[in-house]
């Protein structure tokens, strides 16, 4: 009996510790007016993106769901708002990114928020031959942001929010491998494409770091976000046995998408954070990142290489 009680106490202690650290929750307190403003959310048809879209739509924003799956987008649009629309975007295709931007710029007069939310953990290649995680999580968003920046500057006061992850801490960018193989890691095993995922999330932080420098002198700002450890479709491509292991833990500890959207919403709605442009946020607060995630030379090189890969240079 004593041993069972001891185990129960230990498990309870571990649960409390985890919910106050790794699985900590936060609540967005920002309340900036959104009526009349236009928002693009990539992957806005499910998970964190959907929760973010619903919140901003309820505040009166015009929300563009930029995603692949029309059916899921149609379900997400059932918000009661008539100002939520779907526009097809496949981040695994640079042609699709350009087509989306062209359509948006022709039909929408303003852009106040660009939320680079979509992401995946998977193996494979994009339409252009890049590693799927590098291509979708970083390169597609890099091109999209650059194509829309002038509209954001013209609108004024806009924000670019890019979802990264605490996994960026374990990332590394091998530029030689990127140029030679068009990826930052690949492989059939889950640990291999999880490592590639970490690398792509480091790209998100470095991209935001460099973007903030390029936005100086304008009133457009940018932020990278760790949403928390959230129950989403991010790991839909992992193996069955891993899902069997992960799902019970996920339902017990992971944040739901609404909780996972809070830091994104903070960066979208909190007034007065403009001096923190380029920073990394977690739990609705700016957080310090390791030296390799704020390396000016690596961030600049990543930008220049990404420009060439996208055909912007």
Query: Residues 88-111: what's their mean pLDDT?
Result: 98
Instruction: Give pLDDT, residue 19.
Output: 39
Q: What do you get for the CA distance between the two ends of the chain, in Å?
A: 69
119 in a structural domain:
yes
What pLDDT is recorded for position 242?
52
Q: Is the pLDDT of residue 243 over 60?
A: no
**Cα 259 from Cα 91, distance rounded (Å):** 25
Q: Is residue 73 part of a domain?
A: yes
Mean of the per-residue pLDDT values of the chain? 85
Distances (CA, A) of 8 to 14, 18, 22, 246: 10, 15, 20, 21
In whole angstroms, give the CA distance from residue 168 to residue 204.
8
Q: Give the pLDDT confidence score for residue 190 in this predicted structure.
A: 65
The answer to whether position 9 is within a domain reads no
Question: Would you call 179 helix, strand, or coil by DSSP?
Answer: helix
pLDDT for residue 6: 38
User: What's the half-sphere exposure (Cβ side, CA atoms, 13 Å) at 211?
Assistant: 30
Active site residue 197: yes
Task: Compute, in degrees rounded to 10, the torsion defined by CA atoms 45, 312, 170, 92.
Answer: 40
pLDDT band at 248 (very low <50, low <70, confident <90, very high): very low
Evaluate whether residue 22 is within a structural domain: no
Q: pLDDT, tens digit, for every residue of 110-158?
A: 999 999 999 998 889 999 999 999 999 999 999 999 999 999 999 999 9
Count CB-CB contacts under 10 A for residue 214: 14
35 within domain boundaries: yes
> What is the CATH classification number for the domain harbouring 164?
3.40.50.720
User: Do the Cβ atoms of 17 and 9 come closer than 8 Å?
Assistant: no
Q: Over 90: is that where the pLDDT of 223 sits? A: yes
On the question of pLDDT at 264 being above 70, the answer is yes
Annotated active-site residue in 86, 197, 223, 280:
197
* pLDDT at 249 exceeding the cut of 70: no
Closest listed residue to residue 224, CA positions, set 178, 137, 165, 177 = 165
Q: To which H or E segment does residue 62 belong?
A: strand 62-67
Give the residue carrying structure tokens 């403003």.
Answer: 37
Asked if the structure places residue 269 within a domain, the reply is yes
Give 153-173 pLDDT, tens digit per residue. 999 999 999 999 999 999 999
Tally of domains in the chain: 1
pLDDT at 20 over 70: no
Nearest to 84 by CA among 116, 55, 112: 55
Strand partners, 35: none
Crossing angle of the two packed helices 47-58 and 262-269, in degrees rounded to 10: 40
pLDDT 10s digits, 43-52? 999 899 999 9
Pairwise CA distance, residues 256 & 227, whole Å: 11
Q: Are strands 280-282 and 285-287 parallel, antiparallel or unpaired?
A: antiparallel
Does 280 fall in a domain? Answer: yes
Strand pairing category for 280-282 and 62-67 = unpaired
When pLDDT is averaged across residues 93-98 and rounded to a whole number, the result is 98
- Write out the residue range of the structural domain in which residue 99 sits: 30-310
DSSP 134-178: IIIIIIHHHHHHHHHHHHHHHH-S-EEEEE--GGGGG----HHHH
Helix (H, G, I), strand (E, B) or coil at 131: strand
Identify whether 4 is part of a domain: no
Ranges of H-type helices in the chain:
2-20, 47-58, 70-77, 94-107, 132-133, 140-155, 175-181, 190-214, 240-253, 257-260, 262-269, 296-310
Out of 9-23, 37-51, 142-156, 296-310, which region has the weakest mean confidence (pLDDT)? Answer: 9-23
Residue 122 is predicted with a pLDDT of 86
- Tell how far CA 36 is from the center of its chain: 24
């Amino acid at each position: 009996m004593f041993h069972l009680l001891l185990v129960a106490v230990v498990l309870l202690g571990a649960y409390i510790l985890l919910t106050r650290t790794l699985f900590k929750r936060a609540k967005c307190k920002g309340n900036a007016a959104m009526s009349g403003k236009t928002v693009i959310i990539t992957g806005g048809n499910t998970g964190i993106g959907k929760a973010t879209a619903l919140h901003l739509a309820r505040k009166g924003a015009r929300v563009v769901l930029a995603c692949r799956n029309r059916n899921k987008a149609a379900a997400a649009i059932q918000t009661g708002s008539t100002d939520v629309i779907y526009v097809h975007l496949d981040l695994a295709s640079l042609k699709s990114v350009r087509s989306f931007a062209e359509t948006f710029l022709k039909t929408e007069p303003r852009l106040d928020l660009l939320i680079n939310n979509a992401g995946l953990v998977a193996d494979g290649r994009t339409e252009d031959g890049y590693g799927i995680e590098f291509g979708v999580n970083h390169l597609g968003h890099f091109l999209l942001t650059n194509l829309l920046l002038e509209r954001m500057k013209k609108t004024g006061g806009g924000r670019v929010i890019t979802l990264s992850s605490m996994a960026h801490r374990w990332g590394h960018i091998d530029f030689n491998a990127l140029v030679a193989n068009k990826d930052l890691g690949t492989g059939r095993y889950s640990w291999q494409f999880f490592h590639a995922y970490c690398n792509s999330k480091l790209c998100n932080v470095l991209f935001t770091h460099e973007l903030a420098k390029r936005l100086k002198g304008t009133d457009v700002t940018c932020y990278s976000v760790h949403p928390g450890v959230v129950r989403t479709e991010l790991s839909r491509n992992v193996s069955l046995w891993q899902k069997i292991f992960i799902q019970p833990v996920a339902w017990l500890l992971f944040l739901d998408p609404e909780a996972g959207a809070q830091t994104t919403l903070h960066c979208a709605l909190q007034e007065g954070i403009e001096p923190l442009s380029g920073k990394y946020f977690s739990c609705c607060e700016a957080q310090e990142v390791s030296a390799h995630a704020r390396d000016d030379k690596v961030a600049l090189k990543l930008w220049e290489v990404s420009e060439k890969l996208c055909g912007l240079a």
